[in-house]
C-alpha cells in the first residue's frame, strides 16, 4: 500500500506492510467457489491497486470494440495490443447489437462476444467488461435497442420499473453467458473487472432523487450476482459501495478527485487518445507526448490502471454510428482503423509501459513523497523502507522552456511540459517529451486488379406525391423508421387561390425547421434541394423561394437520419426516449393572405424507407427484383448504383474512395460498409472522410458486388476507386540529446541494470511483416523541418546523412542507426556547432519478388 506523506516515520510504514498480509481486513474481496480447468483468480483491491491472486498489478488497458472490427481481424488487433505493452482489453457490450428484436438474442459474427473474450484470454490478457445498459460510445441510440422506446410507461436510465426490468433481464443474459463459459477471473477466466452504467453523473441531476435511487439499484444489481470481480462506475464520484468510482478524461492525474473511499484504487477508465470525428470536422489529433505525460502523471499520483479509449477504434459498419459520427472511428488511436500500428503513438506508449514496469515494485509497495523545487517543477518519488527500491517522476509543467531539477545530489534537465521517469531514482530511462519511436505515414495505393473499368447500372427511386396518413403533424422521424432505415417520407397537399398569389413584388418562400439530420424537398414534383444540420446544431432551417400554382400543391419531404443522437453537448443522454428528430415546422411565407402554417392544419402521409431497401437490392438475392438501367453521364438523386469488381491484390487492408459522390450508403456483397458523406465539407473545404474500409472478410476473389445508394443528383461514380492500405513509409525524428531507449534497461534484484555493455541513442527503423527497406527517401542530420512523409532540409545538414542511412539500413527488415556526430560528420567538421542536431530519416519498405508472388 502506498503511504502518502512528506515526513512519515518508517516504523509505521513497516507495521502497515505487515498488516497487508491480512488482505481481508484491508481490501474488498470478491470470491466465487467454482470448478474450472483453469486456476481460479481471486480479484481484490485496496487503496493502491487491484490485487489478482494475491499479486498487485499495474494495468495497461485499451478499448477495442468487437462490433467495430471483424472476427478475422480480432486476432491481429489483440496480438498487436499485447505487443504494445497492454495487459488488459476493455470493451462495451452493445445491447442493440445483441437484442435488436425483443427477446431474440444474437451472438454470432461481429456479435460473438464469447469468441472475442476467449481470444483475449488466449493472448494471456485480462478483460474489463462494460455491459451498459447505456454505453454512449458514439454508437446509435447509445447502444439501447429501438424497441425499448415502445415499452409503455418507460423512462430510460432512472428509477423506472419498466426500464429496470428490461435492464436487469438483459444484463443477466450477458453476465450469465460469461459465467456459463467460465470467463470470470473467479472461474479461471480473463474478466477481472466490470462496469455498470456509463458517465451517469452527467444526467443524474436531471432525474433528481430517482437518479440517485437508480444508480444505487444498478450497483446492487451487479454486486448481488456474486461474480467474483470488482465493479466500477466511471465519472461517478458518488458511486455507492462497493463500486469503485473511476475517471474519464484526458488528464485524470489533475482532474480526478480520487476514490471516494480510502480502500479503493485510482482507476482511469477512459484516456481519450484522440477526438472522435463527425461529418464536417477537420482532422483531429492528440499528440502522443500529451498522452504519455498524462499517463506518467496519473501513475505518479497513486494511479495503477489506465485504459486508452480507444486503442483501436475500428469502423462503424452499416448504420451503427450515432448522429453525424463518421464511419471511421478513433482512427488516430495507437492502432488505426485498419488495425495497423500508428507510429509514433503506438511505440512511444509501449516504451512508457516498459518504463513504468521498471518502477512497479516502488509504485505498488513504496512510500510516496512529493517535493516542489520550483514554481513549475515537481518531484514525486516512491521508496520502500529498508530496501534500495526507489522510483522517481521529475515533472516540468513549464510549457515553453526546459527546467533543471536537482534530485538526490544530481541535476536533471527536464524538457518543457514533460515527465522524466527514473526507476532507480538515479537513471532517466524515459521522457514523455522525447519520442524515439519510429514514425509511419499511411499510404493508399490504387489497386491494379480492382480498378478495371466499372460497368455501373442504376435504379432510381420513385418520388411519392401523396401518401396515406392520418397525422395532422409530421411524425417524429426515429419513431417512424423504428431504426430499420435512415429514411422517412412525408407528403401533404395544400391549396392556394388567385388572391394568395397576387401580392405585388412579394416572394413566396417555403420554410422548414427540422431537428435533424438531413432533408430533401420536392414541390409539385420539382426537386428544391436539401439541407442538413451538424453535430453541434440541434436544428436547421431549409428555406427556398418557390413558385406555387393556383389550386392544389403537393409537398414531399424525405427526412434523413445519420444515426440517433445519444447526447446533447451538455447532458450525455438524459430523457433519450423523448428525443425528437425530423421536420418540426413547415410553413409558406409571402402569401397575400399571410403565412400558411402546414404543420398542424394539414394531413400528413408517411412511408418508411426506400423501395430498394425493402426489396433487398443491396444483396445478390434482391438484385433482380428491380429493372436496372445502364448508367449514362447523369442520374437524379435517390439512385442505386451497382457494379462488379475483383478483390484487390495482396493481403493488405482495402478501402473504397468515394470521390465524385455526395451522400449515402455502401454495401459490398450485401455487407454494410457504412454511411458516406462527401458533400459535407470541413472548414478546410475537404470531406471529413474519403476512404471507407472494406474488410477482407467481405470480399471474394472475383466479381464482388458493389451497391451504393446515393441521395444526391449528378454524382460521378466513375471517380470511385479501390485502394490498398499500408504503412510502408517509415521515419525517425530524434534529437542527439534525447534519452536512449528504455529497451536498454532491465531490473534484477531490485536494481536497474543495462542489458548491453554500452548504452547509446539509436534510431530504430522496422518494416512490417516480411518487408525490407527498399529505399532511403530522405535523410538529414542537422535541423530538418516537417513530418514523416513531408520532410525538408533546414539550414544545417551533414552531407553524408543519406549515405550513412543507406549503409545501415538498405535491404534490411530492421536497422539501428547511432544518433551522434561521429556517425554523420565523418570529416569531423561541424558547419553549425551551436545547433542541437536532429536526425530525420524517411525510408520506404517493400517486398521481395518472392513475397510479392505469394502475396505475403
Other C-beta atoms within 10 Å of 526: how many? 9
Residue 842 CA, distance from chain mean position: 28
Residues of the chain with pLDDT under 50: 1-36, 569-571, 853-856
Model confidence pTM above 0.85: yes
Q: Are 207 and 214 in contact (CB under 8 A)?
A: yes
Regarding whether 767 and 707 lie in a shared domain, the answer is: no
Contact between 301 and 369 (Cβ < 8 Å): no
Cα separation values, 70 from 111, 116, 191, 314, Å: 9, 10, 21, 9
Q: Which domain holds residue 454?
A: 444-459+614-725
How far is 431 from 426, CA to CA, in rounded Å?
A: 14
Instruction: Please name which of 648, 647, 637 lies closest in space to residue 708, comparing C-alpha atoms.
Output: 637
- Residue 620 bears catalytic tag: no
Return the CATH number at 483.
Answer: 2.60.120.260
Residue 235 lies in a domain: yes
Cross-strand bridge partners of residue 248: 270
Residue 425, in any domain of the structure: no
In a domain, 204, yes or no: yes
User: What's the structural domain count of the chain?
Assistant: 4
- CA angle centred on 361, ends 358 and 362, rounded to 5°: 90
- Does residue 520 share a domain with residue 604? yes
The b-or-e profile of 364-390 (16+ CB within 10 A means b, else e) is bbbbbbeeeeeebbbbbbbbbbeeebb
The C-alpha atoms of residue 588 and residue 543 are separated, in whole angstroms, by 10
Same domain, 131 and 105: yes
- The domain that holds 250 is classified in CATH as 3.20.20.80
pLDDT of residue 175: 98
Domain boundary among 701, 725, 749: 725
Nearest to 597 by CA among 580, 583, 579: 583
3-state secondary structure of 766: strand
Residue pair 98/106 in contact by the 8 Å Cβ criterion: yes
Q: Which residues contact 529 (CB under 8 A, 6 or more apart)?
A: 520, 521, 542, 544
- The helices-and-strands tally (H runs, E runs) of the chain is 17, 45
Sign of CA dihedral 682, 70, 451, 854: positive
Residues 598 and 619 both lie in one domain:
no
Residue 469 falls inside a structural domain: yes
For residue 516, the model assigns a pLDDT of 80
Instruction: Identify whether the C-beta of residue 612 lies closer than 8 Å to the C-beta of residue 641.
Output: no
What local confidence, expressed as pLDDT, does residue 556 receive? 98
Q: Are residue 98 and residue 119 in the same domain, yes or no?
A: yes
Same-domain pairing of 510 and 451: no
Contact assessment for residue 378 and residue 420, using Cβ atoms and an 8 Å cutoff: no
pLDDT for residue 7: 41
Residue 11: inside a domain: no
What does residue 625 show for φ and ψ, rounded to 5 degrees? Answer: -80, -10
Same domain (yes/no): 584, 622? no
CA distances from 301 to 234, 255, 256, 373 (A): 18, 12, 10, 17
Residue 720 and residue 765 in one domain: no
Does residue 487 sit in the same domain as residue 455? no
What is the distance between the alpha carbons of residues 93 and 99, in angstroms, rounded to a whole number?
A: 11
Q: Tell me if 86 sits within 8 A of 62, measured CB to CB.
A: yes
Could you give the angle at which helices 161-180 and 209-223 cross, rounded to 10 degrees? 20
Domain boundary among 574, 594, 609: 609
Residues written for the chain: 856
User: What confidence tens digit (pLDDT) does each residue in 448-462 have?
Assistant: 999 999 999 999 999
Check the CA dihedral 357-359-361-365 and report its sign: negative
Active-site residue among 57, 270, 434, 476? 270
How many CB atoms neighbour CB 328 within 10 A? 25
Interatomic CA distance for residues 425 and 752, integer angstroms = 10
Is residue 589 assigned to a domain? yes
Tell me: the pLDDT tens digits for 386-411?
Answer: 899 999 999 999 999 999 999 999 99
Burial profile 809-818: b = 16 or more Cβ within 10 angstroms, e = fewer: beeeeebebe
Which residue among 342, 376, 405 closes a domain?
342
Domain of 806, CATH number, reads 2.60.120.740
Extract the C-alpha cell encoding 611.
423501395
Q: Provide CB contacts within 8 A for 25, sequence distance 6+.
A: 19
294, 291, 239, 307: which is closest to 50 by C-alpha? Answer: 307
Sheet with 367-371, side-by-side order of all strands: 3-4, 367-371, 377-383, 390-396, 418-422, 430-431
Q: Strands 266-272 and 303-312: what pairing?
A: parallel
Note whether 605 and 632 are same-domain residues.
Answer: no
Please report whether residue 182 resides in a domain.
Answer: yes
Which is catalytic among the residues 57, 99, 121, 199? Answer: 199
Cell numbers standing for residue 454: 466499372
The whole-number pLDDT of residue 848 equals 67
Largest pairwise CA distance in the chain: 100
The three grid cell numbers given for residue 343, joined into one nine-digit string = 507510429
Gap between the Cα atoms of 821 and 119, Å rounded:
47
Answer yes or no: 270 catalytic: yes
Indicate whether 819 and 793 sit together in one domain. Answer: yes
The verdict on 579 and 698 lying in the same domain is: no
The model's pLDDT over 287-305, given as tens digits with 9 standing for 90+, comes to 999 999 999 999 999 999 9
Question: How do 303-312 and 59-64 pair as beta strands?
Answer: parallel
Domain assignment present for 366: no
Inter-axis angle of helices 161-180 and 113-122, nearest 10: 40
User: How far is it, in rounded angstroms, from Cα 705 to Cα 642?
Assistant: 7
Amino acid at each position: 500500500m502506498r503511504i502518502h506523506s512528506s515526513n512519515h516515520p518508517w516504523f509505521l510504514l513497516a507495521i502497515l506492510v505487515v498488516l497487508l498480509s491480512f488482505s481481508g481486513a484491508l481490501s474488498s474481496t470478491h470470491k466465487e467457489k467454482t470448478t474450472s480447468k483453469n486456476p481460479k483468480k481471486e480479484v481484490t483491491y485496496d487503496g493502491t491497486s487491484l490485487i489478482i491472486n494475491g499479486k498487485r498489478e499495474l494495468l495497461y488497458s485499451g478499448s477495442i470494440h468487437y462490433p467495430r472490427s471483424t472476427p478475422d481481424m480480432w486476432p491481429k488487433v489483440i496480438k498487436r495490443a499485447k505487443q504494445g505493452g497492454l495487459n488488459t482489453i476493455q470493451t462495451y457490450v452493445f445491447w442493440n447489437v445483441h437484442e435488436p428484436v425483443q427477446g431474440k438474442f444474437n451472438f454470432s459474427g461481429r456479435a460473438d462476444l464469447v469468441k472475442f473474450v476467449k481470444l483475449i484470454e488466449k493472448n494471456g490478457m485480462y478483460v474489463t467488461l462494460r455491459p451498459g445498459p447505456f454505453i454512449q460510445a458514439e454508437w446509435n441510440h447509445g447502444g439501447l435497442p429501438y424497441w425499448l422506446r415502445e415499452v409503455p410507461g418507460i423512462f430510460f436510465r432512472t428509477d423506472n420499473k419498466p426500464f429496470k426490468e428490461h435492464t436487469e433481464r438483459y444484463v443477466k443474459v450477458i453476465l450469465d453467458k460469461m459465467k456459463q463459459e467460465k470467463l470470470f477471473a473467479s472461474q479461471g477466466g480473463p474478466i477481472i473487472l466490470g462496469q455498470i452504467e456509463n458517465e451517469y453523473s452527467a444526467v443524474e441531476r436531471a432525474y433528481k432523487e430517482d437518479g440517485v435511487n437508480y444508480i444505487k439499484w444498478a450497483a446492487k444489481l451487479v454486486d448481488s450476482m456474486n461474480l467474483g470481480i470488482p465493479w466500477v462506475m466511471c465519472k461517478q464520484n458518488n458511486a455507492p459501495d462497493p463500486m469503485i468510482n473511476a475517471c474519464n478524461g484526458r488528464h485524470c492525474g489533475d482532474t480526478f478527485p480520487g476514490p471516494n473511499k480510502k480502500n479503493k484504487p485510482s482507476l482511469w477508465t477512459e484516456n481519450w487518445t484522440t477526438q472522435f470525428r463527425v461529418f464536417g470536422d477537420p482532422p483531429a489529433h492528440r499528440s502522443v507526448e500529451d498522452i504519455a505525460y498524462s499517463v506518467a502523471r496519473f501513475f505518479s499520483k497513486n494511479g495503477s490502471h489506465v485504459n486508452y479509449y480507444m486503442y483501436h477504434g475500428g469502423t462503424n459498419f452499416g448504420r451503427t454510428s450515432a448522429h453525424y459520427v463518421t464511419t471511421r472511428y478513433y482512427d488516430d488511436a495507437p492502432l488505426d482503423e485498419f488495425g495497423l500500428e500508428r507510429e509514433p503513438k503506438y511505440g512511444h506508449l509501449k516504451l512508457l509501459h516498459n518504463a513504468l514496469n521498471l518502477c512497479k515494485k516502488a509504485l505498488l509497495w513504496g512510500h510516496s513523497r512529493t517535493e516542489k523545487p520550483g514554481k513549475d517543477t515537481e518531484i514525486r518519488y516512491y521508496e520502500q523502507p529498508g530496501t534500495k527500491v526507489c522510483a522517481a517522476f521529475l515533472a516540468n509543467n513549464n510549457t515553453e522552456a526546459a527546467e533543471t531539477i536537482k534530485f538526490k545530489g544530481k541535476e536533471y534537465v527536464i524538457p518543457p511540459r514533460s515527465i522524466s521517469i527514473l526507476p532507480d531514482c538515479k537513471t532517466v530511462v524515459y521522457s514523455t517529451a522525447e519520442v524515439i519511436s519510429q514514425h509511419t505515414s499511411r499510404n493508399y495505393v490504387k489497386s491494379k486488379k480492382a480498378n478495371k473499368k466499372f460497368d455501373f447500372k442504376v435504379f432510381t427511386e420513385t418520388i411519392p406525391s401523396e401518401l396515406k396518413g392520418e397525422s395532422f403533424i409530421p411524425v417524429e422521424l426515429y419513431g417512424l423508421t423504428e431504426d430499420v432505415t435512415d429514411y422517412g417520407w412525408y407528403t401533404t397537399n395544400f391549396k392556394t387561390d388567385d388572391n394568395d398569389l397576387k401580392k405585388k413584388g412579394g416572394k413566396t418562400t417555403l420554410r422548414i425547421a427540422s431537428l435533424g439530420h438531413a432533408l430533401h424537398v420536392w414541390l409539385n414534383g420539382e426537386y428544391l434541394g436539401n439541407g442538413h444540420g451538424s453535430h453541434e446544431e440541434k436544428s436547421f432551417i431549409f428555406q427556398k423561394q418557390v413558385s406555387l400554382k393556383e389550386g392544389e400543391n403537393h409537398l414531399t419531404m424525405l427526412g434523413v437520419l445519420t444515426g440517433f443522437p445519444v447526447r446533447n453537448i451538455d447532458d450525455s443522454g438524459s430523457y433519450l426516449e423523448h428525443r425528437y428528430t425530423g421536420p418540426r415546422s413547415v410553413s409558406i411565407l409571402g402569401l397575400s393572405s399571410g403565412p400558411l402554417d402546414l404543420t398542424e392544419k394539414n394531413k400528413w402521409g408517411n412511408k418508411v424507407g426506400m423501395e430498394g431497401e425493402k426489396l433487398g437490392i443491396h444483396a445478390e438475392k434482391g438484385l433482380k427484383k428491380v429493372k436496372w438501367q445502364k448508367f449514362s453521364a447523369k442520374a437524379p438523386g435517390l439512385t442505386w448504383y451497382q457494379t462488379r469488381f475483383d478483390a484487390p491484390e495482396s493481403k493488405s487492408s482495402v478501402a473504397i474512395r468515394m470521390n465524385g459522390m455526395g451522400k449515402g450508403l455502401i454495401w459490398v456483397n450485401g455487407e454494410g460498409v457504412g454511411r458516406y458523406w462527401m458533400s459535407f465539407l470541413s472548414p478546410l473545404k475537404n470531406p471529413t472522410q474519403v476512404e471507407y474500409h472494406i474488410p477482407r472478410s467481405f470480399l471474394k476473389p472475383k466479381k464482388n458486388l458493389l451497391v451504393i445508394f446515393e441521395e444526391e443528383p449528378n454524382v460521378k461514380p466513375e471517380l470511385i476507386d479501390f485502394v490498398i492500405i499500408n504503412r510502408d513509409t517509415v521515419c525517425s525524428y530524434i534529437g542527439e540529446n534525447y534519452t536512449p531507449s528504455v529497451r536498454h534497461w532491465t531490473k534484477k534484484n531490485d536494481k536497474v541494470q543495462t542489458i548491453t555493455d554500452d548504452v547509446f541513442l539509436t534510431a530504430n527503423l522496422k518494416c512490417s511483416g516480411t518487408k525490407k527497406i527498399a529505399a532511403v527517401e530522405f535523410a538529414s542530420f542537422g535541423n530538418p523541418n516537417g513530418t514523416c512523409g513531408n520532410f525538408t532540409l533546414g539550414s544545417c545538414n551533414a552531407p553524408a546523412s543519406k549515405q550513412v542511412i543507406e549503409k545501415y539500413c538498405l535491404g534490411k527488415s530492421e536497422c539501428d542507426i547511432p544518433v551522434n556526430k561521429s556517425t554523420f560528420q565523418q570529416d569531423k567538421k561541424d558547419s553549425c556547432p551551436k545547433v542541437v542536431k536532429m536526425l530525420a530519416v524517411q525510408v520506404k519498405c517493400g517486398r521481395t519478388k518472392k513475397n510479392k508472388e505469394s502475396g505475403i
